[in-house]
Amino acid sequence: MPSLFGRKAPLSSSLSSHSSIVTAPITELPGQPIAEDGQVQSRAAITVGRAKEAIREKRRLMMAPLFYVPNLIGYVRLVLLGAMFGFMYQRPLAFSLLYALGFTLDFFDGLTARLFDQSSEFGAIIDVVIDNISRQLLWSRVAPSVAPLIACVEWLVFAFTNTERASGNWKEACFAAAPWIVRKILSNNFRTLPGTLVISGLMFLPLWAYLQTDIARPLLLTLPLARWLAHPAVGAVLAAGRAMALLCELWVVAYYVKTVLEADGAKLREKKKQT
């Protein structure tokens, strides 16, 4: 007799059918939380990707000033610095030309910084560091008795100005109460007659002193221009410029010391108010 409900399925088929129902993936059933977990994981992956991209962009922007045109000129000056002092004792002409070329490039790195809008804190620091090292290595050769004093003053000014740089308008605050001659020297970013005299004395007085040494004597005998540059009158003008530069440097040091003392005084007054 036929079955009331039709053909019976075999036992194995029945078990298989029940097993497929029990073991079906949960994601196939509507309303299961695993689908929400997948969305969370997807959003987390997107967030991580964006964070990594932000880190890469931050690193790219941080490294960008290293490749600014004025900073590339600074690297060239560093190479010239090494070559220059390799020639100092044996090839005075090559040394003198490389020294002058280095400070000529110093003008062009400032020009390109303005031209390409590539001013940077890194560039400002490396520029002054190269200037200081160039001058002080030469001073240590031509005037070893005063070279340590010159180095101390120049590096003190470098340290103090970079400490104050964060305040933004430190130059205005520093030189507002300065003597007239100091303000005149620094006005228009040294583009005045006193400013030109100061920069010339700062950069080229050590070169003039080098031309007075026995090493450079053959150079003076062969080149009329070298003899003119080594003239005592030229040295007197450059010495006057360096003395004016020293006046500005001492003013910066005095201003910084005064600023530090005022800050300490303010802290003491605050402590007295609290007691």
Q: What is the pLDDT of residues 132-150, one digit of tens each?
A: 999 999 999 999 999 999 9
Tell me the torsion sign for CA atoms 204, 208, 214, 218. positive
Spatial neighbors of 158 by CB under 8 A, at least 6 apart, are 128, 129, 132
Task: Give the best-scoring range by mean pLDDT among 26-40, 172-186, 212-226, 234-248.
Answer: 234-248
Provide the residue range defining the domain that includes 104: 63-265
Evaluate whether residue 45 is within a structural domain.
no
185 and 249 Cβ atoms separated by less than 8 Å: no
Evaluate whether residue 222 is within a structural domain.
yes
pLDDT at residue 221, rounded to an integer:
77
pLDDT at residue 166, rounded to an integer:
66
pLDDT at residue 36, rounded to an integer:
62
Evaluate whether residue 12 is within a structural domain.
no
Residue-averaged pLDDT of the chain = 84
Evaluate whether residue 32 is within a structural domain.
no
- Which pLDDT band, with edges at 50, 70 and 90, does 236 fall under? very high
Evaluate whether residue 51 is within a structural domain.
no
Evaluate whether residue 22 is within a structural domain.
no
Question: What average pLDDT does range 144-172 have in this prediction?
Answer: 86
DSSP string for 144-198 = TTTHHHHHHHHHHHHHHHHHHGGGS-HHHHHHTTS-HHHHHHHGGGG-SHHHHHH
Evaluate whether residue 255 is within a structural domain.
yes
Residue 11 has pLDDT above 50, yes or no: no
Please report, for the domain that includes residue 250, its CATH number: 1.20.120
Evaluate whether residue 41 is within a structural domain.
no
When divided into structural domains, the chain yields a total of: 1
Q: What does the alpha-carbon distance between residue 107 and residue 129 come to, in Å, rounded to a whole number?
A: 15
Residue 28 has pLDDT above 90, yes or no: no
* Comparison of pLDDT for 20 and 58, the residue scoring more: 58
**For the ranges 37-41, 44-48, 85-89, 220-224, which has the lowest average pLDDT?**
37-41
